Amino acid sequence: MDMCEANAYLRKGDKDELYFEMVDKVIPQAEGLLLEDIFGRRKVFNGRILELALVDHRIVLQEDPKAG
Amino acid sequence: MDMCEANAYLRKGDKDELYFEMVDKVIPQAEGLLLEDIFGRRKVFNGRILELALVDHRIVLQEDPKAG
């Protein structure tokens, strides 16, 4: 099966930490980024997209500095 | 070959117009979204991401209302 989901990583300094696997949808909303995986599970992420690299199945995110 | 590039569409009203095919990378920058296709060709888009639907190979963009 040719599934083109991606993994979402959180960039922290010079490291990328895995945040959410097998992401299908990403929808920017007022509250943050709504991420939905291929099973329909959702997370809302308080931050922004730094980079998409789809051939590598990577979404790189950065937390909003106001958060945490 | 399992290539997970996506096509980028521009949402105009209730229609999505094809903007750029076989996109690999999307990098938000000060000047707009830098899009790069799987051949390394680049476009800078003055607007934002409305939605990613990776399993459907779709990136939906919206033009900045201040533009054109």
Which of B4, B49, B50 faces A4 most closely, judged by CB atoms?
B4
Query: Digits of tens for pLDDT over chain A (68 positions)?
Result: 458 899 999 999 999 999 999 999 999 999 999 999 999 999 999 999 999 999 999 999 999 887 55
* pLDDT at residue B46 tops 80: yes
Tokens linked to A58: 């990577």
pLDDT digits (tens, 9 = 90+) for A36-45: 999 999 999 9
Which own/partner contact pairs does B37-45 have at CB distance under 8 Å and 24+ positions apart? B37/B5, B38/A55, B38/B3, B38/B5, B43/B19, B45/B8, B45/B19, B45/B20
Q: Which residue has the tokens 């909003």?
A: A64
C-alpha distance from A54 to closest chain B C-alpha (Å): 5
User: Number of residue pairs across A and B with CB atoms under 8 Å?
Assistant: 60
